[in-house]
Amino acid sequence: MNFKGKKALVTGSGGGIGKSIALLLADMGADIAINDVSIKNAQKTAKEIISKGRKALVSNADVVKNNDVKEMFKTIAAEFGRLDILVNNAGITRDSLLMEMEENQWDQVMDVNLKGVFLCCKYAAKMMSEQQSGKIINISSASAQIGNIGQANYVASKGGVISLTKTLAKELARYNINVNAVAPGYIRTPMTESVPEKVKNYIISQIPLNRAGKPEEVANAVAFLASDMSVYITGQILSINGGMYV
């Protein structure tokens, strides 16, 4: 897989899975627009990308805000001239049992995890349709496929991502734009490190491969879907979960 000359945007790429995706695409030759609400983390990722000899843009646009997203895409158009790959990775959790969940916990998760994907896809689709080419990869979750106690908001948002992916695949196929999603299972990231050890052990006991996944393993799948090797794949959900959901 060679991304030389390609331009990519990875949201939530200041750390975790998003950072691994951005670094891998850069390793394969792409220039990367780094987006993260933490400008400090985004700049760290950008520094690593530049050290690889690739170009990097930094944006701390809030994917929930239309004007922020609109300006981010204007900058990408001005600096890169095009956008070949969009990876919608930005996401948050606000876990709580349904009967104890506050309205703002629901709204925050739905806004970042689903509305953010909608806004980024909207502006990316406009750029990519003019080019008559593009790859959009949305990050969903195995939780959306199997459900998860205490995550009604997160599961609903990631389930929405799956449905949105399938619809956009049909809408955008006429422009030679592929839209797919990956659904990671339990991946070791800063977000999951806060999970109590007892809970971690239980989750791993439910995984046939008997271990947590690595961010790099998710990045490998994203790179495949972003490459020319997947030109006849669209509207699909690629599960990366060690067999937790089959």
Distance (Å, whole) CA 113 – CA 61: 14
* Sole residue written with tokens 């997947």: 230
The residue extents of the domains of the chain are: 7-240
Give 200 or 235, the one with higher predicted confidence. 235
CATH of 7-240, one of 3.30.930.10, 3.40.50.720, 3.40.640.10, 3.40.390.10: 3.40.50.720
Give 196 or 156, the one with higher predicted confidence. 156
pLDDT at 172 over 90: yes
Residue range 28-36: mean pLDDT, rounded: 98
Q: How confident is the model at residue 1 (pLDDT cuts 50, 70, 90)?
A: confident
Give me the pLDDT at residue 192, please.
Answer: 82
Residue range 72-100: mean pLDDT, rounded: 97
DSSP 53: T
Any residues with CB less than 8 A from the CB of 123 and at least 6 apart, and which?
69, 70, 72, 73
pTM exceeds 0.75? yes
Question: Which residues are designated catalytic?
Answer: 154
Give me the pLDDT at residue 7, please.
Answer: 98
Q: How confident is the model at residue 51 (pLDDT cuts 50, 70, 90)?
A: very high
3-state secondary structure of 34: strand
Burial code (b: 16+ CB inside 10 Å, e: under 16) for 191-216 equals ebeeeeeeeeeebeeebeeeebbebe
Give me the pLDDT at residue 193, please.
Answer: 80
Give me the pLDDT at residue 191, please.
Answer: 76
pLDDT tens, 177-215?
999 999 999 999 887 887 888 989 999 999 999 999 999
Q: DSSP assignment of 95-141, as one string? A: -B-GGG--HHHHHHHHIIIIIHHHHHHHHHHHHHHHHT-EEEEEE--
Q: How confident is the model at residue 110 (pLDDT cuts 50, 70, 90)?
A: very high
Any residues with CB less than 8 A from the CB of 38 and at least 6 apart, and which?
14, 15, 60
Give me the pLDDT at residue 9, please.
Answer: 98
